[in-house]
Amino acid sequence: MIIRTKVHARAGLLGNPSDMYRGKVISFLIKDYYAQVRMWESPYLTFRLHPEHDRCEFEDLSDFVTSVARHGYYGMQRVLFATCRRFADYCRERGLPLRKANFTVEYESNIPRQFGLGGSSAMVIAALRALLRFHRIPARAVSKAQLAELALSVETQELGIAAGLQDRVVQSYGGLTYMDFSGPRPRYRRLDSRWLPRFGLAFPSEEQLASLESGRVHAPVRQRWEEGDREVRRVMAQIARCAAEGREALRRGDTRRLGRLIDRNFDLRCRLYGESGAGAHNIKLVNVARELGFPAKLPGSGGAALILLGERSRERELAEAYASQGYHYVTIKAA
């Protein structure tokens, strides 16, 4: 029997990146993009690496450089390795019995890399769900909240990447999710996905893309936070307030208010990270939409722009504006 698991990409609607700083966020899943894992019993424990994401042969140096910019230095291999290692440790720590059987695992992902859409966390959760099913661990043994925490520990403990719970929570719970990290324990609430208006997504071409992991983007601000920097703490609280107010705007169907909060979220983020931290492409991606009157922000750490859409007639104008700058534009659907 082949076990198949699928986890969608996520878009941070409001509040990011305050999830890493005891804030509040709202996120939703993107139906168009997902990571998928297939696992089955086999004589040896085997990882079937992806021919595109985990390449070892290249036409020339230029092809190699393009591949590294697109997929990083390690592709998804280290993510799968780290997930399996952390899963084994977690089960031993919790006293969860594992089958004495080997498996073969392979994966597929159409989530654009380096665009802040939770591609790595989607792969981690897809792999964890496959491992849980393969070892016949009951669903009640690992709650959705625990699954999110386990997925986060793969990247923070095994890979040493600065990350927050936002991606893992919405990908574990699914749908449109409100997350409050301000108390002693995080609180999560599923919202009605029908509250969501239409959104677009813009991102660079492969030629424009630079390889930059989100953990490196977060590192300087994280250090300032841990040192008690008042400006970081004040601005993060304001970013978190965008999510709190945005939940009510969604409930009321107040897209005008939602748009103002989206713009404010991005402006506050830029105040903390500056132009160098935000990245030239990120700022330009957002400004292309804003210059046409569309609210926009980063859906994650950077690399793409999430755009609140209005009239369909103006969407063509938006797509043409991005195309003229060499960017890609797509309309997305919530999962």
- How far apart CA 132 and CA 209 sit, in angstroms, is 35
- How far apart CA 235 and CA 165 sit, in angstroms, is 19
Structure tokens at 249: 């705007």
Structure tokens at 181: 């990290």
Give me the sign of the Cα torsion angle 11, 15, 20, 22: negative
Q: Which residues of 188-212 are buried (b: 16+ CB within 10 A; e: fewer)?
A: beebeeebbeebbbbbbeeebbeeb
- Our answer to whether residue 254 is catalytic in this structure is no
The Cβ-side half-sphere exposure at 317, using a 13 Å CA radius, reads: 12
Residue 99 makes CB contacts below 8 A (sequence gap 6+) with 134, 135, 136
Residue 144's identity, in one-letter code, is K
Active-site residue (options: 54, 60, 89, 167): 167
Active site residues: 167
